[in-house]
Structure 1
Amino acid sequence: MSDRTLRGTPSWLRSTNDRTALELLLEHGELTRLRLGELSGLSKPTASQMVQRLETAGLIHTVGTVSAGRGPSAASYAVRTDRTLGVAIDVTPTLIRSVIVDASGTEYPITITPTVDGERSAVADIVEAIAAATTAADIDPATVRLVNVAVQGSYDADTDELAFAESMPGWQSEGIRAVLEAATGRIVHLDNDVNLAAIAERATGVCADAASFALLWMGDGLGLAVDLAGTLHRGASGGAGEIGYLPVTREASAFDPAADDLQDLIGPDAVTRIAHRTTGSAAPEAITPADYEAALELLTSGPAREAIIAELAPRIAMGIVPVLALLDPQRVVLGGPTGAAGGDALAHAVGEHIVRSTRWRPRVVASSVERLPVLHGARDVLIGELRARLFDEVDRIAVA
């Protein structure tokens, strides 16, 4: 039976009212029956029936009382978010971050688990991350039903294949979700880390009101996420945005004659060499993550900052121009460790270079999601899925 056929029936009205109550409780936190009635516009008897149904179904519970002045205190209610939880996980080459997620968006402790070369596997990484998150939050692992994993690579949900994931040793390329679900006994979703960072940018960042934007992530690797009117463009096999593999043009030889692709031009090694060159020191032959971190500090502040930006900005612009030619996004966001270190000054310099050298006029901005944007995005996705499950339960009890 279609939703149109159900509209106006008692079960449809119950479901609509109960969904409204859950949305209000998730938005405002604890509410009394009276306040729920006021916010929803429902009568006191209808609001009371609504609360009784949701409490009987175990979807809400009494959490306290509120003084009603001269009359008796009123019970306050909140959504039962402890029955079904998720874990958001961000897998990187050197460490794994994980955090418990509930439908109300409660802030739980973020855990960091170092990785050990030669001893990694997808199952070991994820099982350990879930255990770390549940322990830190003092949560019963049995309540965790959903897991959302950010990976440095592309994931094709249709074929269950992981590609471009050279930075994740021990992770298999085929059947990865099936293996993780079998090992953990939970529903597992995987997504590209930059796509999840773009979700965070759309939700709470500088692009919340943008018609379209492209997020260029510059860190251990390079990645691009494209948001078109709130929808991420993932490509036919999830491989859209692997911009680090993009061959550079002949013009790039003016910056680095040895550069073959964009990773060579603006990746961590390139940023480190630029920082050393501008400070008059020789870059190490084998650049380490610590060397890159030191270069980012110079890019963030200090006397060499302007010189680093002046050399880095035209390189970044060269990588953005193909995106402009193909998609012409309204905004371009510079994210990742390099984008964060360069901040507004780097974004301004890149934008100025694009305006001077091309016909495009995008607004180039620095990411405004300051704290762990990848994990933030994975968490946002889980909150939406957990809430959808609550609303599905509302629909079931409405027709019972």
Structure 2
Amino acid sequence: MAIISSPKGSNAERSRSSNRRAVMGYIHSAGEMGRAEIARNLSLSTQAVSNIIAELLEDGLLHEKGTRASGRGLPALQYGVNPDGGYAFGIEVRPNAILAALLDMQGKTVFKHRITFKDARPAAVISHVTALRDEMIAAIPSAQDKLLGAGIVMPGPFGTTGLIGQGSDLPEWSEVDPAKLFHEALEIPIMVSNDANASAMAERITGVAQGLSTYAYLYFGTGLGLGLVSQGHLISGAFGNAGEIGHVSVLVNGEYASLESVLSRLSVQRYLQNNGQGSVDFERLTELFSDKDPYLFEWLDTASQALGHATQIIENMFDPQTIIVGGAMPSGVLDHLVANAPLPDLSVSNRLEREQPRLKTGESSRLTATLGAAALVLNQTYTPQFIPVH
């Protein structure tokens, strides 16, 4: 994942920034908290927390939420995240469309829009994105001076790799630095990621991964991607390409095949087209599942096997609290896959003291990655980069 933001500054400045994020994260998770409780949780002095809260109140990121009695003494003043204190802009760039969303500090969607186009080269995409930014500000004027940054989601892999030419590449982008390009166009901090990583982070902000720190996210886009979150931070790899699991070979029905050739939206569309269904979009796939189409359920049988193999690989390599399955696939299809995937016994995740299921269904929407792009920015606001110190 590529990031362009403000300079990091000195160690003291980085420590202060991390403590601010830690305070924001605790308050966001709890809904509201008092100074003493925050200080205990973060092993900070009450005075240090008071100074941080004063800054966050002045910045408009927090607001007072009344008092709460707790034992002896005066009731403690509670603080909560101010929903209108800041906004996160999310952009998803596809080969034929751009989707945009704006989230407030609580992760609520306050603006969304989609445009289609035929030219996905860098100059054309930047022109569309700046126009979407202007349209967003016109719709939500208060966001103009409160943008925390923009998350940009693009198809991976990034750079020139052995996976270029797989059908979802953006033309002329392999030699471009997208973070720099979008930063120059939008003039705000930029985070560039693939769709799986962004969607994984969206689940942590507003979805089924709330309260989890280490999990995996299998994302159904055109292909199949994997987002890995460890201690609240994305594992991106040296060049931002960690999680390209769709190209891993699995054994299905006695033959080896790439995972996404049997477990992806493109896979099911091709299978149904080869069996006379014609063009199958998100809505049509929902209808076919509801009608229990026999060809769709044939595909689901094979795809469920593949998901079981993928589960074993991810669990033994990463040891997550859970694996979340989501993305641009109808919820009924995702639920069926999760319910019918054969979970292997030979896995580090096969243990009795589990608090989470090994597989669970996450968000199912065309906007999953777009909202995830904005969630990348919010997660950075709520997650410290290192352990807080005095």
Corresponding residue of 1:122: 125
Corresponding residue of 2:181: 179
Decide which of 310, 316, 326 is 2:307's aligned counterpart: 316
**Conserved in 2, the CA contact under 8 Å of 1:296 and 1:337?**
no
SS at match of 1:369: strand
Deviations 1:157-203 (A, max 9, x none): xx9xx978953534522222222222222222101111121122334
**Conserved in 2, the CA contact under 8 Å of 1:85 and 1:143?**
yes
Decide which of 355, 360, 364 is 1:366's aligned counterpart: 360
Measured on the aligned residues, the alpha-carbon RMSD in Å equals 5.0
* Whole-angstrom distance in 1 between the partners of 2:28 and 2:212: 26
Corresponding residue of 2:112: 111
Report matched runs for 1:124-139 at 5 Å: 124-139=127-142
1:349 aligns with 2:344: no
* Displacement after TM superposition at 1:349 (Å): 0.8
* Displacement after TM superposition at 1:97 (Å): 2.4
Corresponding residue of 2:91: 89
1:149 aligns with 2:183: no
**Conserved in 1, the CA contact under 8 Å of 2:325 and 2:362?**
no
Distance 1:341 1:81, change over 3 A: closer
SS at match of 2:328: helix
Decide which of 267, 270, 279 is 1:270's aligned counterpart: 267
* Whole-angstrom distance in 2 between the partners of 1:338 and 1:65: 39
**Conserved in 2, the CA contact under 8 Å of 1:144 and 1:186?**
yes
TM-score (norm 1): 0.65
Decide which of 366, 369, 372 is 1:377's aligned counterpart: 372
* Whole-angstrom distance in 2 between the partners of 1:387 and 1:168: 32
**Conserved in 2, the CA contact under 8 Å of 1:194 and 1:223?**
yes
* Displacement after TM superposition at 1:93 (Å): 3.4
Counterpart of 1:332, as a letter, is I
* Whole-angstrom distance in 2 between the partners of 1:364 and 1:231: 20
Greater per-residue helix proportion: 1
* Whole-angstrom distance in 2 between the partners of 1:328 and 1:21: 28
* Whole-angstrom distance in 1 between the partners of 2:301 and 2:62: 59
Decide which of 257, 261, 275 is 2:258's aligned counterpart: 261
1:326 aligns with 2:317: yes
Distance 1:28 1:297, change over 3 A: same
* Displacement after TM superposition at 1:242 (Å): 1.2
Distance 1:154 1:385, change over 3 A: same
TM-score (norm 2): 0.66
Q: Gaps (5+ residues) in structure 1?
A: 7-11, 67-75, 390-400
What is the percent sequence identity of the aligned residues?
19
* Whole-angstrom distance in 1 between the partners of 2:61 and 2:208: 37
**Conserved in 2, the CA contact under 8 Å of 1:351 and 1:364?**
no
Corresponding residue of 1:59: 59
**Conserved in 2, the CA contact under 8 Å of 1:154 and 1:164?**
no
Q: Gaps (5+ residues) in structure 2?
A: 1-9, 40-45, 67-77, 351-356, 385-390
* Whole-angstrom distance in 2 between the partners of 1:360 and 1:40: 35
* Displacement after TM superposition at 1:319 (Å): 3.9
